[in-house]
Amino acid sequence: MSDDIFRQCLSQFVRDFAYGDAVRHLLKKGYSIERIIREYHYPYTKEELEKIKDSLTAESEEKG
């Protein structure tokens, strides 16, 4: 594994560890992606937030 790939993976892990649960909590509370972007300055792109939201939706559907 090259250093660049390792650093990118480590960066994503650290970012998700630091902010991921907060983002998921806000989405579960009904916050829109636009509101999260506007009111909070998490280091996620809109596309990344949409992936998190899609993942939560899929998990919710699996649980029934």
- For position 1, what pLDDT does the model report? 59
Per residue in 3-38, pLDDT (tens digit) is 899 999 999 899 999 999 999 999 999 999 999 999
Q: Which domain holds residue 46?
A: 3-63
- What is the model's pTM? 0.80
Count of the separate structural domains present in the chain = 1
Q: For the residues of 36-48, what is the DSSP string, one character each?
A: HHHH---S--HHH
The kind and range of the H/E element at 62 are helix 46-63
> Distances in Å between the alpha carbon of 15 and those of 8, 11, 21, 60, 64?
11, 6, 10, 23, 30
Q: Binning pLDDT at 50, 70 and 90, where does residue 55 land?
A: very high
